[in-house]
Amino acid sequence: MEWATVFSGSNEGSVGTERGSERTLNPYVTGTSVLGLKYKDGVILAADMGGSYGSTLRYKNVERIKSIGKHTLLGASGEVSDFQEILRYLDELIIYDNMWDDENSLGPKEVHNYLTRVMYNRRNKFDPLFNSLVVGGVKNGQKYLGMVGMIGTHYEDNHVATGFGNHLARPLMRAEWHEDMSFEEAVKLLEKCLLVLLYRDRSAINKFQIAKITEEGMTISEPYALKTFWGFLAFQNPTKGAEGSW
């Protein structure tokens, strides 16, 4: 049977076969920046809960930080449906690993390496997953934090960010991060970064989750909002002094 278009709201978004498989040709519902950093006792991740349909903030309850196995947290920017596909891959991987029953479990480094290969493999098939991923965790007392891009680019660092966070949040992290940060200091720094992103990124919303992972376990917070102030003069007249603006 010839390839057929799978209609899911638009005939341009995905194509599939008679078996019902689909490919993301363009990102439709997307999430914005994810931030992560190491602190004294573990790793902490933060993201808002917005899902944008194009330039419209359509969904406001999208959880973009998930636990993977016993030792890892995963945060995702980009296409939400592709993130769901990645979570399905990881569920299968964790179940397969548990079936060995060897008292060992996958740690954040293994998950990071696996996702790097998955993203690079899909890129080589010209069928990429439209996501940037932050992987953080603690295993055997070792903290781990890394990032994976949609074409398989990857790195490890003491603090990472995706999307606009690479441009707006990481300079703040470079200036204020230090290795023996307490949890409270880490949260304060992340909230400062989230506030900057909220002011400057049109896709960000004032509804956030923060997740932490230590040797004792992991916790993902309930959604909460930050106190904002929109009375800055630059916000009241953003085009003042901009030649050629309206």
Q: Looking at the predicted structure, is the pLDDT value of residue 3 above 60?
A: no
Which pLDDT belongs to residue 7? 29
- The mean pLDDT value for 61-87 works out to 96
CA 106/CA 137 separation, integer angstroms: 11
Neighbour-count burial for 181-203, b at 16+ CB within 10 Å, e otherwise: beeeebbebbbebbbbbbeebeb
Here the tokens at position 153 are 């680019």
| pLDDT tens string 163-180 | 999 999 999 999 999 999
Residue 97 lies in a domain: yes
**Which is it for the CA torsion 51, 56, 57, 58, positive or negative?**
negative
CA 192/CA 37 separation, integer angstroms: 13
The total domain count for the chain is 1
Here the tokens at position 79 are 């296409």
30 is catalytic: no
CA 160/CA 135 separation, integer angstroms: 9
* Residues 145, 14 contacting (CB under 8 angstroms): no
Long-range CB contact pairs, 7-10, < 8 A, 24+: none
Share of the chain above pLDDT 90, in %: 76
Here the tokens at position 72 are 């890892």
Residue 147 lies in a domain: yes
Residue 197 lies in a domain: yes
Which pLDDT belongs to residue 6? 30
Residue 100 lies in a domain: yes
Owning domain of residue 174: 28-224
CA 113/CA 37 separation, integer angstroms: 19
Q: Three-state SS for 124?
A: helix
Residue closest to 216 by CA, chosen among 69, 38, 42, 31: 42
Per annotation, catalytic residue among 24, 116, 162, 214: 24
Residue 33 lies in a domain: yes
CA 57/CA 37 separation, integer angstroms: 27
Q: Looking at the predicted structure, is the pLDDT value of residue 240 above 80?
A: no
Which pLDDT belongs to residue 9? 37
Residue 66 lies in a domain: yes
Residue 238 lies in a domain: no
* pTM of the entire predicted model: 0.86
| pLDDT tens string 198-218 | 999 989 999 999 999 999 999
- Name the average pLDDT for the chain: 89
CATH number of the domain where residue 90 is located: 3.60.20.10
| pLDDT tens string 92-115 | 999 998 888 887 889 999 999 999
- The mean pLDDT value for 58-63 works out to 95
Which pLDDT belongs to residue 23? 74
Residue 14 lies in a domain: no
* Residues 133, 86 contacting (CB under 8 angstroms): yes
| pLDDT tens string 135-154 | 999 999 999 999 999 999 99
Long-range CB contact pairs, 88-95, < 8 A, 24+: 89/118, 90/114, 94/68, 94/69
